[in-house]
Structure 1
Amino acid sequence: MAQYKLYGDQELVQLMRSDDEHVLVEIYNRYWDKMLVVAINRLGNQEEAEECVQDVLYKLWSLRHEFSLLKVELSNYLSRAIRNQSFNILDQRHRARVRSENYTPVEDINLLSPERQLIIRELQEQIDNSINALPPQCQLVFKLSRHEGLSNKEIAEKLNLSENTIKSHLKKANKDIQGNMGLLITMVFIHSFFQR
């Protein structure tokens, strides 16, 4: 069993295709903690998070003959799989709540006052304008990162750039967007403070 610790992810995936169950044990030992943290952060429940991780590992094992890693690290794949499984669990949780007898949907109550709705719209507009004001390459990198959820490495490969260039673009984008948001956020804070 000790030799499996020396294998890289690609080698483990290859061995997994030959129905070697020790590979699954190694993947479990290598990534369980990281996967569990992601699941707990999304679900807020230890038991559901553990079940989520088990489901992802079970699915990985059931797909072992077709599964391959193409330009993606196993850790990134598992992180995305946990995210997707968490969304499924949250969706099931919501559906169960809707079906329960005691649940009454709040349809006609608008929880946001017209002023707050306006503030939210203005904030979203300001964010969109700040993103659109970025240089084209910087804007593309930011959207691939934030909207599509790609890692720096994946973006670098997709755009044929270095990871350091991607980091620089993201740093600039965050700095510019935060700079553009500063005044509006101050105004929102002042408005909220005086509405008390």
Structure 2
Amino acid sequence: MLNYKKYSDYDLLTLFNTNDERVLIEIYDRYWDKMLAVAFNRLGNLEEAEECVQDVLCKLWKLRSTFSLQNEKLSSYLARAVRNQTFNIIYQNKQKRQKLAGYNLQENVIDSISPERKLIIQELQQQIDNAIKNLPPQCQLVFVMNKNEGLTTKEIADKLNLSENTVKSHLKKAKKDLGNNTEFLTIIVFFSIYFR
């Protein structure tokens, strides 16, 4: 029986596409604590952090037949993958909270609107959401935190453990990308004319 503990990360990855689950178990044993620390540091919730790390390891296992690292260490790759997954989780959590918070308000407002306008609003909201979803994940998260939650660049920087300059550049990119999206601009103009 092979003792994977003696293998280097590089050697483990060369065995990864052999479908030997013990390779994944060894990666789990080596990096679980570090990955969990990265996730917990960003999410502040142990259960969510554990789920985040499990998701990253599951994705890694699914990619095993094609997975390779060029000039990056496995530890760096895993830390980056966990960080990206935390951005997704934070964004999903924000969306859930917004939907719950806005549900009662939306219900009252929509009840007083004609069925045609309800349909138009739903379609326009979907198009706005799609335009925002086309932004890169971290840029999208920063934009949503700023526009939907009204957080300042400093508050966003503190929450996401980023520099204020990074947050500002994400906001600038989001505004530029959305500004270049003619469909998005048309929606905003439409809203301003018909739904004052």
The alpha-carbon deviation at position 101 of structure 1 amounts to 4.0
Paired position in structure 2 for 1:134: none
Q: For residues 69-103 of structure 1, what are the alpha-carbon distances to aligned partners after superposition, in whole Å with 9 as ceiling and x for unaligned? A: 11000000000000000000000000001100467
Distance of aligned partners of 1:44 and 1:2 in 2 relative to their CA distance in 1, 3 Å threshold: farther
Q: 1:107 Cα deviation (Å)? A: 7.7
Q: Compare the two structures and name the one with the higher helix fraction.
A: 2
1-side partners of 2:49 and 2:20: how far apart? 26
Extract unaligned runs of 5+ from structure 1.
118-126, 129-142, 148-196
**Using the alignment, how far apart are the partners of 1:109 and 1:43 within structure 2?**
17
Unmatched segments (≥5 aa) in structure 2: 106-144, 155-163, 170-196
TM-score, normalised relative to structure 1: 0.53
Q: Which residue of 1 aligns with 2:23?
A: 23
Partner Cα distance (2:58, 2:29) in 1: 14
Instruction: Please say if 1:76 is aligned against 2:66.
Output: no
The SS at the match of 2:26 is helix
Q: What corresponds to 2:36 in structure 1?
A: 36
Alignment of 1:45 onto 2:45:
yes
Give the direction of change, closer, same or farther, for the CA distance of 1:22–1:106 in structure 2 (3 Å limit).
Answer: closer
Partner of 2:91: 91
CA deviation string 1:19-53 (max 9, x = no partner)? 01000000000000000000000000000000000
1:2 deviates by 6.4
Amino acid across the alignment from 1:14: T
Q: Report the CA distance shift for 1:101/1:3 in structure 2 as closer, same or farther (over 3 A).
A: same
Distance in 2 (CA, whole Å) between partners of 1:97 and 1:11 is 44
Give the CA deviation at 1:16. 1.1
Q: For residue 37 of structure 1, what is the amino acid of its counterpart?
A: A
How many residue pairs end up in the alignment? 117
User: What residue in structure 2 maps to residue 60 of structure 1?
Assistant: 60
**1:108 Cα deviation after fit:** 11
| Separation in structure 2 between the aligned mates of residue 108 and residue 64 of structure 1, nearest angstrom | 38
Structure 2 distance, partners of 1:54, 1:44, is 16
SS in 2 for 1:26: helix
110 and 49 in structure 1: CA distance in 2 versus 1, 3 angstrom threshold: closer
- Could you tell me the percent identity over the aligned residues? 54
Report the 3-state secondary structure (helix = DSSP H, G, I; strand = E; otherwise coil) of the residue aligned with 1:71.
Answer: coil
